[in-house]
Amino acid sequence: MDNLFSTVELDQSGSIKGLVTAIENALAAGAQSLCIFACSSNHLPREQLDPYLQRLSVPVFGGLFPGIIYHQQELNRGTLVYGLRWRLPMLTVTDLEHAADNLAQALSESPELRERNDFLVFVDGLSRGIDELLGQLYNQLGPDKQFIGGGAGSLKLKQAPCLFSNRGLIGNAAQIIALPGHLSLGVRHGWKELAGPFLVTEAEGNTIHTLNYKPAYSLYREAIESMSPLRFDQSDFFSIAKNFPLGVERLNEEILIRDPVRVDGSALVCVGQVPDHAMVYLMRGEADNLIAAAEEATDIAKANCRGETVGALLFDCISRTLFLEERFDEELSRVAARLPLDCELAGALTLGEIASSPQGGVHFLNKTLATGLLWEPPLDD
């Protein structure tokens, strides 16, 4: 960590005072950029936070997440401030729904960013237009670049400003930050097919209207109720749906997970886009499979490292913690066990994960673990 970060400051109080102290400490230790992971349950009044962030003279980025990860532990309150030794080039895009159209222009004005290879991406996880933005990022920057990141926001699933920036806390936005070192990625989810396939016969953005030409919600509900004692009219939708995500089949046999989070009339609303005419499966999870997938993701990332690992970033879906419950700590400790001893493990529990696929494209994923290992080539390289 010595080479990449000047300091890591943890404030467990979740107060504005704690955040300010952590930032001031990072600045006093010579930080040139600030990366903030904070819990959405923190008490950070905007009228104090925004003027403070606006006064900072170094680039600041990061978000409010349902939870954060530090030293193999999940925290639901508190703030993690990373001070970085370099002033990192970054691009902030606002009005996310329409941002993809202007991205080419914005990138052409940031040549410093275009030259880099590895990027951290934060988005407002409840915005529209995330998939379009990621598609355009891939389109403009090409297949040789790598991305990792996640969606910020709170579990209340109500859109609100959630990204830290030099303009203050912002929402409906994304941040693309060039990383100084090298990044290697591993992405896995561990969910298995339970029923299907169903043809998406009408979908628009992240809303599925019909499956197999039937209203999507009724088909989804029938499928689950026919195979389990669960009944939708007796429980909150998400409390059942979190255990039965949809899987979009792709040609390379990867299954892209989509979390249905609410019902809109007869339609299912997911986190992330579902393509029209896609084939989808009803998925189910086993705790052992999910944890094994987390280990596998870490192993893949490790296998791609060609130097000394200096830090690990985890973007783990918040719904995995809801599903794994007390076994989530096991997932974290088993991931940590596969990392070098002195490797700092940090990250966030997100509303959607972002990672590039070696097969092409940058994807907005659900219920998935994206592991990013930051490494530096050996000195004699």
Which positions lie near other proteins, rule CB under 8 A?
17, 20-21, 24-25, 27-29, 104, 135, 138-143, 197, 199, 249-252, 254, 275-279, 357-361
Q: What b-and-e string marks burial along 344-365, b requiring 16 or more CB atoms within 10 Å of the CB?
A: bbbbbbbbbbbbbbeeebbbbb
Strand partners, 199: 279
Do 245 and 270 touch, CB atoms closer than 8 A? Answer: no
Strand partners, 178: 119
Spatial separation of the C-alpha atoms in residues 82 and 62, rounded to whole Å = 10
Our CB check for other proteins shows the closer of 67 and 83 to be: 83
For the bound state, the minimum distance from the C-beta of residue 105 to other proteins, rounded and expressed in Å, comes to 13
For the bound state, the minimum distance from the C-beta of residue 301 to other proteins, rounded and expressed in Å, comes to 17
Our CB check for other proteins shows the closer of 28 and 337 to be: 28
For the bound state, the minimum distance from the C-beta of residue 281 to other proteins, rounded and expressed in Å, comes to 10
Our CB check for other proteins shows the closer of 265 and 275 to be: 275
Our CB check for other proteins shows the closer of 143 and 307 to be: 143
Residue among 154, 190, 152, 185 nearest 327 (CA): 190
Our CB check for other proteins shows the closer of 143 and 205 to be: 143
Do 335 and 373 touch, CB atoms closer than 8 A? Answer: no
Spatial separation of the C-alpha atoms in residues 177 and 377, rounded to whole Å = 21
User: 168-170 and 353-356 as β-strands: parallel, antiparallel, unpaired?
Assistant: unpaired
Our CB check for other proteins shows the closer of 123 and 278 to be: 278
Rounded (10°) angle between helices 328-337 and 287-304: 30
For the bound state, the minimum distance from the C-beta of residue 334 to other proteins, rounded and expressed in Å, comes to 27
Spatial separation of the C-alpha atoms in residues 166 and 87, rounded to whole Å = 13
For the bound state, the minimum distance from the C-beta of residue 289 to other proteins, rounded and expressed in Å, comes to 21
Our CB check for other proteins shows the closer of 16 and 162 to be: 16
For the bound state, the minimum distance from the C-beta of residue 199 to other proteins, rounded and expressed in Å, comes to 6
Q: Where are the beta strands (DSSP E) in 205-245?
A: 207-211, 214-215
Our CB check for other proteins shows the closer of 196 and 307 to be: 196
Query: Which residues are CB-neighbours of 78 under 8 A, at least 6 positions away?
Result: 10, 11, 12, 13, 14, 18, 38, 39, 42, 68, 70
For the bound state, the minimum distance from the C-beta of residue 300 to other proteins, rounded and expressed in Å, comes to 13
Do 261 and 301 touch, CB atoms closer than 8 A? Answer: no
Do 106 and 91 touch, CB atoms closer than 8 A? Answer: yes
Q: Tell me the CA distances in angstroms from 109 to 58, 106, 171, 175, 280, one per residue in order.
A: 20, 5, 23, 15, 40
Our CB check for other proteins shows the closer of 340 and 360 to be: 360
For the bound state, the minimum distance from the C-beta of residue 251 to other proteins, rounded and expressed in Å, comes to 4
Our CB check for other proteins shows the closer of 97 and 249 to be: 249
For the bound state, the minimum distance from the C-beta of residue 156 to other proteins, rounded and expressed in Å, comes to 27
- Output the six-digit token pair for 23: 């930032």
Query: In the Cβ-directed half-sphere of 260, how many Cα atoms lie within 13 Å?
Result: 29
Do 261 and 238 touch, CB atoms closer than 8 A? Answer: yes
For the bound state, the minimum distance from the C-beta of residue 254 to other proteins, rounded and expressed in Å, comes to 7
